Structure formats: structure tokens, C-alpha cells
């Protein structure tokens, strides 16, 4: 079977000047890899017509599918559409369906369509329109013999929605791609190298047609098994057997499979078991509540939070005893126990969790350096606490402490 | 003066497969931009000899300086060094100074030099060695006529140290570079196309040596002026004059300049004016508090938040009147006014802000579709409310509503 080769072409001075980070390319690479297309090159050029046209021609020589992002804004420095029209030797005209979509987009936001926005509905006549459900610039799909050029906005969430809803399914339909089966196993609470040591013998015994990749990200490590073959059913069965063996070695760190992050898995468990949650978070400053409420439907199990950032608010609003704060300080086990118990009682929830720590860079004391964080879990059966010693970086501490609380909930829920 | 053009060439399958994010390119772009070299292209190729050699030849045609990262590890899939030797038509031999350095590197860490590591001190004879102070793979500098190829490791901190200590100074010494001045103007509360229309005459009157770029990101638009010349002082003066003219047209949308995002600017204002803030956030679920507390030192002005996610918590814990909730609903102007006023009073702060809305995907009613959000600002002089009609996307609504509150604070602070 012929391999389908892909090239990612990013257009925009703001990338070349380093004013924004290109996060799109990595996401697209992963998604293309999943459907069995091989990315052979990434190219970034500036907002210069000749460079864009040259890049099109070069990419066409190397790849079967050329995925272009950027340069679709309504302003004069955005040249992608004009260049595509030139390259495909066609004119640009108002696309009625695209116009209806962009009009509706503005209407739904109670805003008037400007002339500049109307021009975003003008497309090269040689392309198929790709609907932009989250923005005003439509995407474009151009066939050229066996090859395809696709153009999408550089705004990440707009591009991702187009890729998922339209581009990836259409590529899969157009080309005969090898059968690939992916299984992602999600772990939390263990570092990459410790996990690797723990499962070394299992990894070494993997058959040659099934590959393992470690995908560490903030606070967790994902393992991805990728099987290549001709039968999806067979690959799936083989992979599932391997996962069963993996569970024997590292089962307590596995919290889920596939796409769902920890906050979704926790939410599903709380919903299924009809348990409610409240939060008293200090050093995490709202990030923990944000993780929980980023999940659609979280209002079914999450009732609310208190963020008692200041000392007085911990006492007067949450109700931590002054003598506890005075004797042990805000970052201490006695305080965190009170915080979790009080928020659970006040908010009348099954579970209460709490955080208090030194996120940094300020606030450290000799015995409580930056990165010292206490977390607690409380339900009617037990109160569990944990002391974390994290990093010197404020944002990292906020994120790692929040993930640690999610993991504490996972480990502590009544059986 | 001739422009010095640069190309960034990244080598490695792990980048193309999306297994790691390329953060090097952005950093290098910014540093090169600062010294007045213009990055005209970024290219990423895999660990394939023919592709690497082709990329060298292509880059040489386009750019004066070619900065290569990656492919310098000790394992067999690392091909950069062999390819460079081929390209520069020379052999590879142990470089005595490099060998001394790598030996010393291992010695200082109490480790033995392996044969594999010894090979890292073997370099193409045509290059100048670049010391790697933080790792084992030396960098390489090749002159070719007026052009230069540099090869560095892909490990970010090793590359950065080489760039700072050796590469950037040597480029500055070798080439006569133009003076470049950048000024970033940050706006909020107006879309890119509306802003573009508003300032079209100002933009059209820009002198040819000063360029404008629109850099839209979530909820805001940055404008970047880039001036090219021979005197930094003159460019700075010219740019500042242009900014003054811009203020006449769009001053009310400008919240700052340079690197600081809105939450940092707001924080600085609150700190300077000794004002304190509390938050009652419902639909934003903690994200607004997270933005505020992501800023180091925010505990100086931010006292705390209540996240009354559930209906009962809005009544029982925050204290919104049951009759208000019953008559108007949680997503209404009367409710949001109470929320902002109550949290300000309860937390004894100068300012209270509040959010309540339908983030989606659930929870919509016929007269309150997904994306309907009320926000409010309260201080002792006034209570200001605003109704937003945002998108269908939950995360986008959470983020946009939070930024809208920050902007409301900016606009409403007592003069």
C-alpha cells in the first residue's frame, strides 16, 4: 500500500518573528499520524506572495496532501486566499453558502456584518468550502489530480474543529490508508522514567508490529500503543491483551483510556455514583475549579467553590478557626483538614477538597519553601491529606497541585 | 544595507510525528529578530539523509545564515553530522578540544566516558567547534562564501546557551545588521476587522520603513509596528509619534504595550491604586480567578472568590435573594447586580465583579441561548452591568467572558 505523505505549511510573519508559538503543527502531526498519513515536512513562510507560491509548488512535489494554516484574516497582510486563486488559476467570488454562514455568525453575536467580513465569504472558485463553525474565515479544499491542498485559519480552535469535522474524515475517505489501531493508556501519579522501569519487561516483549510511545505531559504520562496490520479487529484484540498485562504491573496508576483527561474521568465517576463536590482552593486560585467546570455537565455534581485567598477570608468567610491559622499557619495539615471539612459541610456536598500552599515566587518561609502545598480530601468516612513539594515555578505549581487533587479524589472515593 | 536572511532548519522524526513540541524555533526567531536578522523560513525534516541534504541546498539558496537544530545525539538515527560532512565535502575526525570538553563534562558528573560519547567529539574537519557548556554534543559553525551554516543540539537549554554565548555574537560581528525597532500595542474589546476599519487612514499613512501587523488572539488584538533604519533613537521617536496618532482613533481600546497581558496590567493598576478585588463567578467556573491569580503578587489586591455554581449555593452561601432568582433567573441583570454587590460587601473589598451565564452545551432556554452571559462590576460609586452574546463553544465562552470582565474592570475603575 502506498504511503500517503503530508506536508504542513504555515503562513504568517507573526510565526517567523516568533511573536506567537505554532502549536497547530504538533496537533496536526498527531492527528495525521493517527489516520496513517506520514508527515514528511513542515514549512513556515512569511506573508510574501512569491514565497507562498514557491512553497505551494515545492510542497506539491513532495507530498500528497498539503495542509495550509494561516493568512486567512480579513486584513491586507493576509495573502493565502489570493495566492491559492493564482496557484489554481481561478477567480475569487462570493460563495453564497459561506456568506450565509458568516452572516449568521455575526447575527448570532448581535453584530453587523462589515464589508471586510463580507469579503471573507469570497472564495477561489476552484475550491470546496470548508465550514468554519467557530469563526468567520471559511476553509478551502482543492483537488489537484491525486493531490489535495487544504487551507484553514491559524486560530487553533477553529482549525481543530475543521480538521475533526471535515478534513480528517475526507482524507480517510479519499485515500486508502493502512489499518492502524491506537490505544492510549492514561496514567497519573508516576514519572516517566519510573514508569518505564516498572514496565521494561512488558515493553521489551511487545511484538514488532505494535509500537509503544511515551507521551509525558503536565502531571501525567500517556502510553500510546500503535498497531499496524490489515485487520482492525485483530489489532484491537491483541492490544487489549497487552493492556491487561500492563495492568498487572502498573494498574494503580492507570486512570483511563483514550481522549478523556482526568477531570472528565472524575466527573463521570461522580455523576455515575451521584456524588457531589465542593472545593476550597487557596494557592491554586481557581484553576482546580476551572478544570472541574471545563467539563460539560459538571453542574450535575459540582456545586461550588470558595477561594479564600486572603488570610481574613479563610477565617471570616470560610470559617477556619483563628487559633488553627495562628498556631500552624495557612499552609499546614491542620488548616487544610479544616478547609476540606468546612467546605463540605457548608456547601452540603458528599466530598470536599482543599488546597493551600506557596505557589511562588513570593511567600516562602525557611521551613515552607516555594512549592510547598498541602491538599486534602474529605467525605463522611474519612479525611485524607497529602503534602506536595513541587517546583519553583508559579504556574507549574498551580497546575501540578490541581492535578494532584484530582488524583487524590480518584484514589480516595468510597469503594 | 543588505538584509541578512535566516532560515531555521529542524531535524527529527519526533517533531514531525508530533511527539514533542518545537519550542526552539520561536525562541530563535525572537533572538534573531532582536539583532536585526530576518527569518524568512522555518523548515522541519525527518531523520532521512536525502531529505536533510536537500534541505541544506534549498536553505543555502534562500538564506544567508542557516541555523540547524537536532540530530546530534549519539544514536544511529542521528544523521546531521554525517550530512554536514558530506555537504561540506570533508571527513570526520576527533576534535581534540571537543574531546577534552566532553571528557571533562562526564568527569564533573562522576560518570565514565563511553565509546558512544567519545564519538560525539568527532567533528567534520571543515567546521569550527561551538562549545556545548551544558551537554555532550558540540555545535558546529561552517563558513561557505558569505554564508554560514550552524548546527546545534535540539535540547532547548543547550541550544540557548550556545546561541547566547557564541552564535548571536559571532553573527553580529560577521554581518553589518540593520537597526530594527518593535512596538506592540495591545487592544481589547474590539474585533480585528472593526479595528482595521477604524484605523485604516492611519495605517495607510504609515511611512514605508515602518510596517504594521495585526496579531489577533483570544479576546484581544495586538498591533505590532516594526521600524527599519539606522538609528534606534530615531525609530523609537517616530514610532511613539505614530502611537500618539493611533490613540486619537482607538485610544479607548488600548490597554497596554509590550509583553504584559490584561490580567497583569489590571493587577498593576489595582496595586498602584491600593484597591482590592473579590469575585463571584458562576459560568466562568474559576477561570476568571485563575487569570487574576496567575499573576505573581496578586495576593496584594485579590482577596478571594466565591464560585456559586449551583442555584442553592447562589442563595444560601452567596446570599442572592430567592425572589430575585425566582423572578428573573440566575442569568439576569438583577441577579448579576446582587452577585457583584454582595461579594464586594461580604469580602470587604473595594471592587466586586460577577459572572453568570450559559456556557453550554446544556442549560439553554428559548430566550437565553448558549453563550448568553451577564457580567457586572461594583464599587462604592457605581454598579455596571453588561450582557454578552458569545459562542456555542463552552471553553471559548468561559475564556471570552473572563476577558470581558477584565476589560469591564479596566473601563469602570474610579477615575
CA distance A63 to chain B (A): 13
Render pLDDT for A317-335 as a digit per residue (tens, 0 to 9).
999 999 999 999 999 999 9
Query: Per the CB < 8 Å rule, is B307 touching A309?
Result: no
- Summary mean pLDDT of chain A: 94
Mean pLDDT of B303-313: 97
pTM assigned to the model: 0.82
Residue B177: per-residue pLDDT: 82
Q: Is the pLDDT of residue B82 over 90?
A: yes
- Give the pLDDT of residue A381: 97
What percentage of chain B carries pLDDT values higher than 90? 80
Q: What's the confidence (pLDDT) of residue B6?
A: 97
Q: Which residues in chain A have Cβ-Cβ distances shorter than 8 Å to B214?
A: 73, 75, 77
Chains A, B: CB contacts within 8 A come to 251
Note the pLDDT of residue A29.
Answer: 95
Would the CB atoms of A26 and B18 count as touching at under 8 Å?
Answer: yes
Please answer yes or no on whether A13 and B216 come within 8 Å at the CB atom: no
Average pLDDT, chain B: 94
Average the pLDDT over B138-159 and give the result. Answer: 95
Total Cβ atoms within 10 A of residue A323: 9
Phi, psi of B172 (to 5 degrees): -60, -35
C-alpha to C-alpha distance for A223 and A245, rounded to whole angstroms:
14
* Residue ranges in A114-250 assigned as alpha helix (H): 115-118, 156-162, 168-174, 192-198, 200-204, 232-250
Say which range, A13-27, A153-167, A319-333, B286-300, has the weakest mean pLDDT: A13-27
- A289:B292 CB<8 A: no
Do B290 and A287 make contact, defined as CB atoms within 8 angstroms? Answer: yes
Residue A78 has pLDDT above 80, yes or no: yes
**Of the candidate ranges A104-118, A162-176, B324-338, the one whose mean pLDDT is the lowest:** A104-118
More confident residue, A300 or B35: A300
pLDDT of B1 reads 57
At B44-79, the pLDDT tens digits run 999 999 999 999 999 999 999 999 999 987 777 789
Range from A60-64, A221-225, B275-279 carrying the lowest mean pLDDT:
A221-225
Interface test with chain A among B8, B10, B18, B279, by most A beta carbons within 10 Å: B18
Which pLDDT band holds residue A1 (cuts at 50, 70, 90)?
Answer: low
- Name which of A281-290, A379-388, B35-44, B292-301 the model is least confident about: B35-44
Instruction: Identify all chain B residues contacting A22, using CB atoms and an 8 Å cutoff.
Output: 22, 25-26
CB contact under 8 A, A309 and B293: yes
Q: How near does any CA of chain B get to the CA of A153, in Å?
A: 12
User: Which residues in chain B are closer than 8 Å to A102, comparing Cβ atoms?
Assistant: none
Confidence of residue A216 (pLDDT cuts 50, 70, 90): confident
Residue A342 φ/ψ, nearest 5 degrees: -65, -45
pLDDT in tens, B254-266: 999 998 999 999 9
Return all residues near B415 (Cβ < 8 A) that are at least 6 apart: none
Q: Distances in Å between the alpha carbon of B294 and those of A130, A320, A359, B239, B297?
A: 37, 24, 10, 31, 9
Give pLDDT tens digits for A38-63.
999 999 999 999 999 999 999 999 99
Sequence-separated (6 or more) residues with CB below 8 Å from residue A30: B17, B18
- Does A40 sit within 8 Å of B18, measured CB to CB? no
Q: Looking only at Cα atoms, what is the longest distance across chain B?
A: 86
What pLDDT shows up at residue A278? 98
Report all structural domains of chain A as residue ranges with CATH numbers, in order of start: 5-174 (3.40.980.10), 179-257 (3.30.70.2860), 262-412 (3.90.950.20)
Please enumerate in sequence order all residues whose Cβ is within 8 A of that of A139, keeping only pairs 6 or more positions apart, or say none.
Answer: A129, A130, A131, A132, A150, A151, A152, A153, A162, A166, A167
Residue A180's pLDDT is what? 83
Using 50, 70 and 90 to split pLDDT, how confident is the model at B36? Answer: confident
From CA A170, how far away is CA A168, in angstroms rounded? 5
Of B16, B30, B43, the CB nearest to A18: B30
Q: H or E stretch including B198? A: helix B192-198
Counting residues of chain A whose pLDDT is more than 70, the rounded percentage is 100
Could you read off the pLDDT of A107-148 as tens digits, one per residue?
888 888 888 888 899 999 999 999 999 988 999 999 999 999
Burial annotation B180-189 (CB, 10 A radius, 16+ → b, else e): bbbbbbbbbb
C-alpha cell at A31: 492527528
Specify the range with the lowest mean pLDDT, choosing from A148-152, A218-222, B60-64, B147-151.
Answer: A218-222
pLDDT higher at B237 or A193: B237
Helical pair A394-412 and A262-272, crossing angle rounded to 10 deg: 30
Reduce the DSSP state of residue B190 to 3 states and report it. Answer: coil
Q: Are A96 and A39 in contact (CB under 8 A)?
A: no
The CA distance from B24 to B171, in Å, is: 18
Looking at per-residue pLDDT, the higher value among B2 and A187 belongs to A187
> Which residue has better confidence, A214 or B363?
B363
Contact: B363, A45; criterion CB under 8 Å: no
Give the one of B46, B224, B288 whose C-beta lies nearest to A40's C-beta.
Answer: B46
CB contact under 8 Å between B396 and A39, yes or no, is no
pLDDT digits (tens, 9 = 90+) for A344-363: 999 999 999 999 999 999 99
Task: Give the gap in angstroms from C-alpha A52 to the nearest C-alpha of chain B.
Answer: 11
**pLDDT at position A218:** 85
Query: Over the stretch B363-382, which tens digit does the pLDDT of each residue have?
Result: 999 999 999 999 999 999 99
- The answer to whether A309 contacts B303, with C-beta atoms less than 8 Å apart, is yes
Per-residue three-class SS string for A253-308: HEEEECCCCHHHHHHHHHHHCCCCEEEEECCCCCHHHHHHHCCCCHHHCEEEEEEC
Instruction: Quote the minimal CA–CA distance from A145 to chain B in Å.
Output: 24
For the stretch A227-255, pLDDT in tens is 988 888 999 999 999 999 999 999 999 99
Measured between CA atoms, the residue of chain A closest to residue B42 is: A44
Checking if the pLDDT of A285 tops 90, the result is yes
Confidence band, pLDDT 50/70/90 cuts, at residue B357: very high
A40 CA to chain B: closest CA distance, Å? 6
Backbone φ, ψ for residue B368 (5° rounding): -130, 80
pLDDT score for A413: 95
Quick one: which of B30, B41, B38, B33 has its CA closest to B8? B41
DSSP letter for each residue of A32-99 = HHHTT-EEEEEEEE-S-HHHHHHHHHHHHHH-SEEEEES--SSSTT--HHHHHHHHTT--EEE-HHHH
* Residue numbers in A near B308 (CB within 8 A): 304
Q: Tell me whether residues A296 and B361 touch, CB distance under 8 A.
A: yes
Using 50, 70 and 90 to split pLDDT, how confident is the model at A21? confident
Amino acid at each position: 500500500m502506498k504511503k500517503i505523505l503530508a506536508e504542513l505549511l504555515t503562513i504568517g510573519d507573526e510565526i517567523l518573528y516568533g511573536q506567537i508559538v505554532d502549536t497547530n503543527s504538533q496537533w496536526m502531526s498527531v492527528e495525521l499520524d493517527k489516520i496513517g498519513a506520514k508527515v514528511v515536512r513542515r514549512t513556515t513562510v512569511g506573508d510574501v506572495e512569491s514565497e507562498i507560491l514557491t512553497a505551494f509548488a515545492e510542497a506539491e512535489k513532495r507530498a500528497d496532501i498539503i495542509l495550509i494554516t494561516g493568512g486567512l484574516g480579513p486584513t491586507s497582510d493576509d495573502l493565502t486566499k489570493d495566492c491559492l486563486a493564482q496557484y489554481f488559476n481561478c477567480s475569487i467570488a462570493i460563495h453564497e453558502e459561506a456568506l450565509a454562514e458568516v452572516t449568521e455568525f455575526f447575527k448570532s453575536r448581535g453584530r453587523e456584518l462589515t464589508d471586510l467580513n463580507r469579503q471573507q465569504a469570497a472564495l477561489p472558485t476552484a475550491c470546496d468550502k470548508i465550514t468554519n463553525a467557530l469563526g468567520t474565515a471559511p476553509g478551502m479544499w482543492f483537488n489537484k489530480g491525486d493531490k489535495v491542498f487544504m487551507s484553514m485559519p491559524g486560530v487553533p480552535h477553529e482549525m481543530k474543529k475543521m480538521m475533526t469535522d471535515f478534513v480528517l474524515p475526507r482524507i480517510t475517505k479519499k485515500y486508502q490508508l493502512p489499518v492502524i489501531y491506537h490505544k492510549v493508556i492514561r496514567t497519573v501519579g508516576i514519572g516517566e522514567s519510573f514508569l518505564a522501569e516498572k514496565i521494561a519487561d512488558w515493553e521489551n516483549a511487545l511484538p514488532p508490529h505494535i509500537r509503544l510511545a511515551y507521551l509525558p505531559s503536565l502531571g501525567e504520562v500517556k502510553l500510546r500503543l500503535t498497531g499496524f496490520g490489515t485487520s482492525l479487529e485483530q489489532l484491537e484484540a491483541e492490544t487489549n491483551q497487552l493492556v491487561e498485562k500492563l495492568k498487572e504491573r502498573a494498574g494503580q496508576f492507570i486512570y483511563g483510556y483514550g481522549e478523556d483527561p482526568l477531570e472528565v474521568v472524575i466527573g463521570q465517576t461522580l455523576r455515575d455514583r451521584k456524588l457531589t463536590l465542593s472545593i476550597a482552593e487557596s494557592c491554586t486560585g481557581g484553576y482546580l475549579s476551572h478544570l472541574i467546570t471545563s467539563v460539560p455537565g459538571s453542574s450535575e455534581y459540582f456545586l461550588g467553590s470558595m477561594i479564600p485567598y486572603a488570610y481574613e477570608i479563610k477565617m471570616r468567610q470560610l470559617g477556619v478557626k483563628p487559633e488553627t491559622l495562628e498556631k500552624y499557619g495557612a499552609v499546614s495539615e491542620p488548616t487544610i483538614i479544616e478547609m476540606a471539612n468546612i467546605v463540605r459541610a457548608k456547601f452540603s456536598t458528599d466530598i470536599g477538597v482543599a488546597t493551600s500552599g506557596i505557589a511562588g515566587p513570593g511567600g516562602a518561609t525557611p521551613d515552607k519553601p516555594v512549592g510547598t502545598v498541602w491538599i486534602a480530601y474529605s467525605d463522611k468516612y474519612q479525611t485524607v491529606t497529602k503534602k506536595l513539594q513541587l517546583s519553583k515555578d508559579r504556574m507549574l505549581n498551580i497546575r501540578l497541585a490541581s492535578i494532584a487533587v484530582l488524583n487524590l479524589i480518584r484514589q480516595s472515593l468510597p469503594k
